[in-house]
Amino acid sequence: QAFSLGRKRVERRTTLSKVAEVVWLRTNRSREEKDGRGKEEVTGQQRWHRYKYRFVPWIALNLSQNQRTLRYVPDNSKDKIIPDEDVLGALLKVFRALFINDFSRQTDILVLLPEAIKSEYQHSLVSHHPRTEKPVNRIQQQKLCQPGEVLFNTLGFSISRETSSLISAGKGVFVTRGFVPKGTVVSMYPGTVYQQHEPIFFQSIGNPFIFRCLDGMLIDGNDKGISKVVYRSCNGRDQLGPFKMSDCTWLTSEVQNPLAVGQYVNNCSNDKAANVCYQEFDVPELFPMELKQYLPNIMFSRDTRSLLRCVVLVALRDIQQGEELFSNYYTIVN
């Protein structure tokens, strides 16, 4: 059954790709004819095959209107805006702050952590009274902050989902507070991660949230219907005692990782240039066990050999409070 589902998925993806290819070739041919560029060295067909589409149905319908927004990358390896270490550093900073904020609710996990790690966290929660110099345990005094507040205190900005500034584009993601410097990890693309051969046919029907990685892996970021059921089921499957391997609160209104709204970022247009860019990030094996509960991605199949794929959005320029985030759904890799 898995095989036939997989085959159907491949067939469906092939059909979508064909439709998109025809639209692409028609658009390019008429453009080339108009400009007298028909005899260019690189043909439209060759360019199509170098194109790494992020959202297939979307490009099939909109490519002709958005020619100028294509993003060119000289090589797969040059797709990264910032080094992986910087992505890891930013995620660890935010996740640690979330963990400490939520410390009083983490007792089941804390008893199982090695002493050295536990005391590191406990250390960060002890401050000294300004007059008496006596140690004060901040756990008892701690007032729980909202996750958005933790993000603001850690990276200096908050983001949230609101009605897009584009007409009939549904929701979008806005910087609601603070300032995002260029090169900052500003959001994460949550969802179930599928390898190329895995069945996604039913989840993909009418689903605009399927993100395609450069190597063909797919991330289903839909927070409704069958996609939601699949994510929850994988999340339950992978839990090890009190240790959750991923966060599923992005499927609810009570999100615990405030970065996990990247699936709502809209595509740039000729009037609104992209201010963020997708960047793929494989979570290293040594990622702290107690912080995995904030990762908004999970593998569809429990495959111990491959690393968990995440996708983050990185700021392409400084972004001010009140601005909507726009990414680029089209990438051409030479």
Ligand X SMILES: C[S@@+](CC[C@H](N)C(=O)[O-])C[C@H]1O[C@@H](n2cnc3c(N)ncnc32)[C@H](O)[C@@H]1O
152 versus 329: smaller Cβ distance to ligand X: 329
Q: Are 243 and 109 in contact (CB under 8 A)?
A: yes
- Region of 11-19, 87-95, 144-152, 162-170 interacting with ligand X (CB under 6 A): 162-170
Given 89, 135, 156, 208, the residue binding ligand X (CB under 6 A): 208
Nearest residue (beta carbon) to ligand X: 170
Q: Identify the residue among 142, 160, 176, 269 touching ligand X (CB under 6 A).
A: 269
Q: Tell me if 53 contacts ligand X by CB under 6 A.
A: no
How many positions of this chain bind ligand X (CB under 6 A)? 14
Q: Is 214 in the site for ligand X (CB under 6 A)?
A: no
Looking at 95, 152, 174, 209, which residue binds ligand X (CB under 6 A)?
209
Q: What is the DSSP code (8-state) at residue 68?
A: G
Q: What is the dihedral of CA 269, 274, 276, 278, to 10 degrees?
A: 60
Cβ neighbours of residue 81 closer than 8 Å, sequence gap 6 or more: 183, 277, 279, 314, 316
Among 203, 227, 263, 328, binds ligand X (CB under 6 A): 263
204 binds ligand X (CB under 6 A): no
Select from 147-155, 259-267, 276-284, 316-324 the region that touches ligand X (CB under 6 A).
259-267
We find the least distance from the C-beta atom of residue 263 to ligand X, in angstroms, to be: 6
204 or 267: whose CB is closer to ligand X? 267
- Residue with Cβ nearer ligand X (97 or 218): 218
- Contacts of 243-247 with C-beta under 8 Å, sequence gap 24+, read 243/109, 243/112, 243/289, 243/290, 243/292, 243/293, 244/292, 244/293, 245/292, 245/293, 245/295, 245/298, 246/292, 246/293, 246/295, 246/296, 246/297, 246/298, 246/308, 247/190, 247/293, 247/294, 247/295, 247/296
Interhelix angle 84-101/147-155, rounded to 10 degrees, is: 130
The residue from 38, 89, 156, 170 that contacts ligand X (CB under 6 A) is: 170
CA distance linking residue 228 with residue 196, whole number of Å: 20
Residues in contact with ligand X by the rule CB under 6 A: 58, 164, 166, 169-172, 208-209, 263-264, 266-267, 269
